[in-house]
A and B are shown apart, each in its own frame.
Chain A
Amino acid sequence: MAKEIIDGQTMTRALTRITYEIIERNKGIEDLVLIGIKTRGVFVAHRIESRLKQLENINIPVAELDITPYRDDQTHEEKDISKVKTNPLDIDINDKHVILTDDVLYTGRTIRAAMDALMSAGRPKKISLAVLVDRGHRELPIRADFVGKNIPTSQKEKIKVSMKEIDGEDKIEIE
């Protein structure tokens, strides 16, 4: 039975706060690039971008990253490098500060796969990570720079993030 633990307003305020922190920790945001991990990470990226636009009146490029070809938690039979299509990143990340965005940070494997994809697409000056929810249980040495909410969970539980753009409403549930 899914239980709502974060409502829509809290979620949007968390995104606003992440935006303020991004501004605070970067002297100048002109070289920023937001890259969202499909699917909901992309919406997170767009929402941050629209807030940056409202606050600083500057257009930050947003791109999508599809990391399914790079995930290492697929079994070896599933993954056959030669059959996998890598979707090229459609923006230039060389010498840019990339902020990777995703909805939930858990084991860290998705992020590691994302970084692999980024590295093979160019040489960014710096990569930071912004997530809506950090639920603990990291299996790799990966840390988020900007976190919406820290939600302690047991590994038996599932975190479900709903976003207006695709799920019709904003909320975070646990089941």
Chain B
Amino acid sequence: MKRYLILEDGTVFPGEGFGSSIITTGQLVISNNRTGIEQSVTDPNTEGQILAFTIPSVGSSGINRDFYESINSQCKGVVIGSSSLSTVDNSVSFEDWIAGLKIPGIKNVDVRALSKHIAEHGEMKASIMDTHDEHAMDQIKALVLPPDLVKRVSTKQSYPNPNMGLKIVIVDLGLKYSTLRQLSYRNCNSVIVNYNSTADEIENLHPDGIIYSNGPGDPKDLPNTIKTIQILQKKYPLLGIGLGNLLIALANDCQIERLAQPHHESSLAVKEVASGKIDFVNHNHSYTLDQKYIGSSDFIVTNVCVADGSIEGIRHEYLPIMCVLFEPEAAPGPTDGYYVFDEFIDLIDSVKQQEGARSQWN
């Protein structure tokens, strides 16, 4: 059945509907992930988003529940070019899977033209509809994207991911399961808490380190979380990922800015400034840190994106704080970024050693 993807600025892209037949509107994000459809669609970051995948023959690699990044999908819609109804591993087809998740989809769209348009005109809202008349345009223009995206995806109730090692508290801003997988692999005894948890609540868990996860939306919508960071950072080692990174930066008088071309790719090169080493990592962020403020701040830049020179990682000069804008847990994407978790653990260990040494000499 013919459906249309209509953008906020009036551009129309024809295609064929699949999945749910409802009309949907959301922030259109062009994803250049080479693989990892399951991960992308179930990523809590997709709250309120319509995801457009630019790879060809979507679905032929199969759908595997093992690769979910959250229990369900928050995605508002998917847009693809060609799809394959068969898979190499006899799993459910992509179209059936999307239908099962009750997400509206549109296929056979000219995603090349779409991604070019967005690259030229910037990210914008879009709708998947059955007609493209004026009524449709009014509906899109009227939609205001909710400012509480993190509230919708953050866990309401704290829950543990128990293990025998370091105690890590993760502030869930849109946490992906793969982050927990990486921590489990390193035996971290984790507790995952709601984004609005107070400093006291977190301190009562006696963490060895605190992680602020990636998440959807604008960091400026989370003033309380920023205040909490300002309190906690004086006492605990912090790791900020994506949105977490932006919040920590804002908590320390840095400014953020939108990227000229947002990073939604499963494999983009990031250079570690200290050693010059290039790693390929997963990116899913539209913001970066404003270079002008970093110089005068107490942060040093630890990673930059090779392609466009934007800041991808920072570290505090004397507090045990490290942050990255990319997704070190991959899923999808190359696993070159796993070292970030090892680095965080080393950071926690060295802080402990310091405290131990300090208490000895006092």
Contacts and interface: CB of A to CB of B under 8 A. Distances in A.
Check whether chain A touches chain B (CB < 8 angstroms).
yes
Interface string B259-286: 0000000000000111111000000000
Nearest to B317: A23
Contact of A17 (B316, B343, B354, B357): B343
Contacts of A24: 316-320
Interface stretch (A8-16, A79-87, A90-98): A8-16
Nearest to A17: B346
A60 to B, nearest CB: 13
A103 to B, nearest CB: 18
Contacts of B346: 17
Nearest to B271: A54
Contacts of B272: 16
A54 B347 CA distance: 20
Contact of B274 (A25, A27, A51): A51
Interface string B326-362: 0000000000000100110011001000100100000
Given A15-B275, A24-B317, A24-B318, A55 B302 contact: yes
SS class, residues of chain B in contact with chain A: mixed
A19 interface: yes
Contacts of B354: 25
A54 B317 contact: no
A21 interface: yes
A21 B339 CA distance: 17
B359 to A, nearest CB: 14
Nearest to B336: A9
B31 to A, nearest CB: 29
B166 interface: no
Contact of B342 (A12, A13, A56, A143): A13
Given A13-B343, A17-B343, A17-B346, A55 B318 contact: no
Nearest to B354: A25
Contacts of A21: 350
A27 B274 CA distance: 19
Contacts of B277: 12
Contacts of B343: 13, 17
Contacts of A51: 274-275
Interface in A10-57: 12-13, 15-17, 19-21, 23-25, 27, 51, 54-56
A55 to B, nearest CB: 5
Contact of A54 (B276, B318, B319, B339): B276
SS class, residues of chain A in contact with chain B: helix
B315 interface: yes
Given A13-B342, A17-B343, A54 B274 contact: yes
B222 interface: no
A15 B275 CA distance: 9
Contacts of B256: none
Among A16, A51, A56, A143: residue with most chain B CB under 10 A: A16
A23 B300 contact: yes
A19 B357 CA distance: 19
Interface in B121-157: none
Interface in B293-325: 300-302, 315-320, 322
A20 B273 contact: no
B350 A55 contact: no
Among B274, B276, B317, B342: residue with most chain A CB under 10 A: B274
Contacts of B275: 12-13, 15-16, 51, 54
A134 B275 CA distance: 22
Nearest to A51: B274
Contacts of B302: 20, 55
A10 to B, nearest CB: 9
Contacts of A55: 273-274, 300-302
Among B342, B347, B350: residue with most chain A CB under 10 A: B350
Contacts of B316: 24
Contacts of A25: 318, 354
A23 B299 CA distance: 11
Contacts of A23: 300, 317-318
Nearest to B350: A21
Nearest to A24: B318
B317 A16 contact: no
Nearest first, the 9 A-B pairs at minimum CB distance are A51-B274, A16-B274, A54-B273, A55-B300, A16-B275, A24-B318, A55-B274, A54-B274, A17-B346
Interface of A: 9, 12-13, 15-17, 19-21, 23-25, 27, 51, 54-56, 143
Given A16-B274, A20-B302, A55-B274, 7 more contacts: A15-B275, A20-B274, A24-B319, A25-B354, A54-B275, A55-B273, A55-B301
20 contacts: A9-B339, A13-B275, A16-B272, A16-B275, A17-B343, A19-B274, A20-B274, A20-B302, A20-B322, A23-B317, A24-B317, A24-B318, A24-B319, A51-B274, A51-B275, A54-B274, A54-B276, A55-B301, A55-B302, A56-B300
